[in-house]
Amino acid sequence: MRAALRVVGELGVTAGLVLLMFCAYLLWGTASYTERHQRILQEQLDQELDQRKRKKDARGIELGRALALLSIPRLGADYKYAIVEGVDPESLRKGPGHYPGTAMPGQVGNFVISGHRTTYAAPFNRLNELRRGDDIVVDTRDARFTYRVIRKEVVVPTQLSVVAPVPQHPARRPSQALITLATCHPEYSARQRLIVYGVLVVREDRRT
């Protein structure tokens, strides 16, 4: 009996260590993956913003490639993430992803971005801290777009109307340039989605 209990105890300790290592990987291992890709993506954006090498329409960007640079002053001066094209699992491991088919930065309609909240560097971990009136800045190779937060809400994952050109009103025709940031809610759960909406207030074109 003692031998059996000792074996069970050892197995329990081993299982606990494996679980602890897995949790550590989710929190820190995945973050290093995203940080590595973010360095590459942001370097690509810097080259395009400074040298303006490519002139093709942003719609031609491949899935997983950098589309724009996202910064949110409320979350700190160092908060900067390259937005990738696509919301498939592979794209979102690299950083916040633009929902294909929704508006592009600055366009009338809904520019939708999704991002992880707890793993892969957790770019949207502090999205809940945003308040009405906060700025959301998006830099592309052609212009800087400043959106202003207008509201937040929590929805179920199946509520896909948040990505409509007019959020929650799929039948309406858009008349404003909007931005929608989406992430899991609550933290460490995918039971719901936290949604932050903003409206474009300033466009600053870059000099050619």
CA distance 166 to 177: 9
Contact by Cβ (8 Å): 74, 129: yes
- Residues classed as catalytic: 116, 184, 193
Give, in order, the Cα–Cα distances in Å from 59 to each of 8, 63, 85, 98.
58, 10, 9, 11
Q: Please write down the HEC assignment for all residues of 105-164.
A: CCCCEEEEEECCCCCCCCCCCCHHHCCCCCEEEEECCCEEEEEEEEEEEEECCCCHHHHC
CA distance 59 to 196: 24
Helical ranges in 25-138 per DSSP H? 30-51, 89-94
